[in-house]
Amino acid sequence: MFLEHLNVFITMVLSTATLFYFISTSKKGTFPFIRSLPGLAAMDEAIGRATEHGKPVLFLSGLGDVDNIQTLAALSILSRVSEKAAQYDTPLIMPNISSVTMVTAQEVVKESHLRAGRPDTYQPDNIYYVSDEQFAFVAHTNGVMERLRPAANIYMGAFYGESLILAETGHATGAIQIAGTAETSQIPFFVVACDYCLIGEELYAASAYLSKDPKQMASIQGQDALRVLMFAIILIGCIGSTMNFEPITHFMSWFLAG
């Protein structure tokens, strides 16, 4: 039982340890270098453009419910986007496919308005539920894009078959489009049809990056450390397997058994 999942346990302990190690170093005042992420700079610009044209910003957190980590990352990004929008006094519209996400997003946006010092401009009606059906949600969102002509469309979270419908309709309405998803099958469509696309892990990194919280930034460093480790495992594993060196191959087949 426990021993059966020992490898999973080790990986988890290792990840947690790296995270807390980098958090502890970050407190000493070392602010890590993080390479620029596509679209994050454009996000402010897009909101600014929406303000100039007096158009709203459209934010979608995907089809996931709050039981999907991508949705939580999206809500985390929403928190920063809506803060910016509140500062600029630009309305942010967010149709939802799930009631629980709607509730949570309303909280997020309300808090952002508080942080921006504009609690009076918070409009709960702008964050609303449409339908639990994927394509009813899409049909509605398409209509919103055509009728309200938002100047910026931000798609973050778990998207599925509808990604291209949204992105192409959005393009036709002339909006700046910034997408981010970890759904491997939908990344190509966002890459092709949107102006900027956060690929896979960049979605999670963006949510940490935008928070400007040293603890969150530390997690990006932790992710990188884990990546280096994976790289090493691949390298050592491949060499071991080429030379048929038993200690390595045995260890790998135990550790990577899942």
Partner 1 sequence: MSTQIIVWIAALLTLCVFSFLYKDNVFYKLAEHIFVGVSSAWLFATYLHSDIMEDMLLKAFPSAFHQTSVPDWKVLGGGIIGLLILSRLIPGFVILSRFGVAFIVGFQTGIQLFDTISANILQQLGSTIVPLFTRKPGEMIKNWISVVGTSSSLAYFYFSKEQKGIFGMFTRLGIWFLMISFGAAYGSTVMTRMSILIGRIYFLLSNWLGVVKI
Partner 2 sequence: MIEKLQHFDRRWIFLTLFIVLCLAVIHPFQLPIAVEPFVQKAYNAIEALKPGDQILMAFDYGPSTAPEVHPAALAMLRHALSRGAKVDMFTLWNEGYPYIQDAIDKVCIPMGKKKNVDYVNLGFKWGGQSGAGVIEGMGSNLKAVFPVTDDGTPYDSVPALQGVRNFHDFKLLLSVSAGTPGIDEYVRYANARYQIPIVSVVTRVSAPKEFPYVTGTQIVGLCAGLVGGAEYEELMHHPGAGTAGLFALSVANMAVIAFIIFGNAIYFLGKGTKKP
Partner 3 sequence: MRRQIPLIIVFISGFTMMLDYFFPSLPVVHGTRELFLNWSRVAFSFAMLLGVFTLLLSNLKKIALQQSGWIFNAVLILSFAVTFFFAAQYKMTPSGSTWITIKGTQVGQTGYQIFQTVYTPLSSSIFALVAFFIASAAFRAFRAKNIEAVLLLSAAIVVMLGSIPFGDLLFNAFLSKISSIPFGFSLYNALHLSQIFGEHPVSWLSNQIQQIPMLAAQRAINFGAAIGMVFMSIKILTGIDRSYFGGGES
Return the residues of window 156-215 that contact partner 1 according to CB under 8 A: 164, 184-185, 187-189, 191-192, 199-202, 205
> Is residue 185 at the binding interface for partner 2, with CB under 8 A as the rule?
yes
**What interhelical angle do 201-211 and 214-243 show, nearest 10?**
150
Q: Do strands 57-62 and 152-158 pair parallel, antiparallel, or not at all (unpaired)?
A: parallel
The string of DSSP codes covering 82-143 is: HHHHHHHT--EEEEES-HHHHHHHHHHHHHHHHHTT-GGG--GGGEEE--SSHHHHHHHHHH
Closest CA to 215 of 40, 41, 84, 76: 76
Question: Which one, 51 or 80, has the nearer CB to partner 1?
Answer: 80
Distance of CA 32 to the CA centre of its chain: 20
Considering CB distances under 5 to 8 angstroms, the limit depending on partner class, which of partner 2, partner 3, partner 1, none binds residue 247? Answer: none
Nearest of 211, 208, 213, 177 to residue 192 by alpha carbon: 177
Burial of residue 109, with CB atoms counted within 10 A of its CB: 0-12 exposed, 13-18 middle, 19 or more buried = buried
Tally of CB atoms within 10 A around 199 = 17
Q: Which does 239 bind (CB under 5 to 8 A by kind): partner 3, partner 2, partner 1, none?
A: partner 1
The number of angstroms, rounded, from the C-alpha of 134 to the middle of its chain's C-alpha atoms is 20
State the minimum distance, in angstroms, from the CB of residue 199 to partner 2: 14
| Nearer residue to partner 2 within complex by CB, 131 or 216 | 131
Amino acid 173 reads T
Asked if 27 is part of the footprint of partner 1 (rule: CB under 8 A), the reply reads no
Judged by CB under 8 A, the chain residues 215 through 244 that form the site for partner 3 are 215-216, 219, 222-223, 226-227, 230
Q: Should residue 73 be labelled a site residue for partner 1 when binding is judged by CB under 8 A?
A: no
Structure tokens at 19: 């995270």
* Region of 47-55, 148-156, 163-171, 237-245 interacting with partner 3 (CB under 8 A): 163-171
Q: Are 94 and 59 in contact (CB under 8 A)?
A: yes
Contacts with partner 3, 173-212, as mask; x by CB under 8 A: ---------x-x--x-x--xx-----xxxxxxx-xx--x-
Chain residues that interact with partner 2, rule: CB under 8 A: 64-65, 67-68, 98, 135, 160-161, 172, 184-185, 258
Chain residues that interact with partner 1, rule: CB under 8 A: 5, 7-8, 11-12, 32-35, 37, 66-69, 72, 99-100, 103-104, 107, 130-133, 135-136, 139-140, 142-143, 146-147, 164, 184-185, 187-189, 191-192, 199-202, 205, 220-221, 223-224, 227, 230-231, 233-235, 237-239, 241-242, 244, 252-253, 255-258
